[in-house]
Amino acid sequence: MPSSKHSAFFVEFSNAGFFLARTSGYGLPMTVEEIHEVPAESKGGIAPVLEKAGRPSRSGAYTRARCGVYPQNRVLGKITVDEPRKARDPRYLEERVRAEFNIDPAAYSLAVLNPASGVPADVGSLMEKEFFLCGAPTDEFGALQRDLLNHGIFPDRLELGSVASLGALVDYHRFARVEHPTLVLEIGMTDTRVIIIKAGAVDSAQVIPQGLRSMIAVVQRELGLKDEAAAQRLFYSESFDFKEMGPKLVDRLLRELQSSIGFYEVQTGLSVGQVLCIRAPEQLSWLNKTFAKNLNVDPFSINFPEWLEQNGIQLGPEIKAETIPVRWLGLFGLMADTKLPEDETK
């Protein structure tokens, strides 16, 4: 379907590839007219999809889009301030960030958000004691912006895809009146970001230094493969069913998660009720059920049509709502977060 002059584009970009949506506009309510997934290894990249979806016809023109990205060294964390007056001093939070996250704040683009609403926190307010910190090295944001431009996409808004996903989950918790805390896992190659959402807010966030690479090493060892590259190709292929081997593959990460959950439950008196792996590609969808079974919790599910409708987002007739996978959550989170007026990107 060709785009109209009022069409808007949303793009999620990571090392796995692109998610792209064309909508009826940026303002809510909106209709999602088409969605596309373009894996990183796709021949021709995203260019053919952009042409089909309605890239401007003039030579060298960019497709303007609101984009979510995943910098390698992004930061997601919770900060609790016992004495809110201290937060009025900018040096106080800066030193907390430097000490607790082991980063140089001057080299990062950081935001301090309210963990429930997702809006910028009123740092120094006597009423706010808990903050959600997010950001990434400024250089990495710049590199990703250049990558998007090289693919023909002009990002007129750029934000962390992780925050869009978490914002969507926080909103869904309130919408669906989820009773028990949810364990959210964002598994990377070398580490896993572990977030717990409770009562419509981010309640806990940490990083565990175990990721997909440790699972690939088990695949190599168990199957007697000659090198890590062969194991990685098999791990991401659809030619081998890893469901039975799953508990062995996740054992090291699982033990870390059990420890983290145990500590959280002792501290809060609450029991984690469900788990959700966000951003896992289709061939790794077995991870969610494997973690749920071995942690003795339920796999978290999302009713996309009802939640999107509640946010003023309708799915077009060509999109089969029942087939939308959880890995699209970040892209829809970008849309649900866009309560902005129509602008010049029409």
Pick the CATH number of 8-71+140-161+302-336 from 3.30.420.40, 3.40.50.720, 2.60.40.1180, 3.30.70.100: 3.30.420.40
pLDDT of residue 68: 97
One-letter amino acid of 148: L
Q: Tokens at residue 243, please?
A: 């469901």
pLDDT of residue 57: 55
The DSSP call for residue 320 is -
pLDDT of residue 2: 42
pLDDT of residue 208: 95
pLDDT of residue 55: 65
| Residue found under tokens 């190659």 | 189
Which region holds residue 312: left if phi is over 0, alpha if psi is between -120 and 50, else beta? Answer: left
Domain definitions of the chain by residue range: 8-71+140-161+302-336
- The model's pTM: 0.90
Rounded Cα–Cα distance for residues 175 and 178 (Å): 8
| Residue found under tokens 């029991």 | 271
Rounded Cα–Cα distance for residues 27 and 313 (Å): 10
pLDDT of residue 346: 34
pLDDT of residue 172: 94
| Residue found under tokens 């309510």 | 29
Contact 314/33 with Cβ under 8 angstroms?
A: no
The residues with which 14 forms a beta bridge, in sequence order, are: 17
What is the mean pLDDT for each group of 10 consecutive residues in the chain (346 residues)?
67 92 92 91 84 68 93 93 81 91 95 88 77 95 96 94 95 94 95 94 94 94 92 87 89 96 96 94 90 96 92 91 86 76 38
Contact 81/131 with Cβ under 8 angstroms?
A: yes
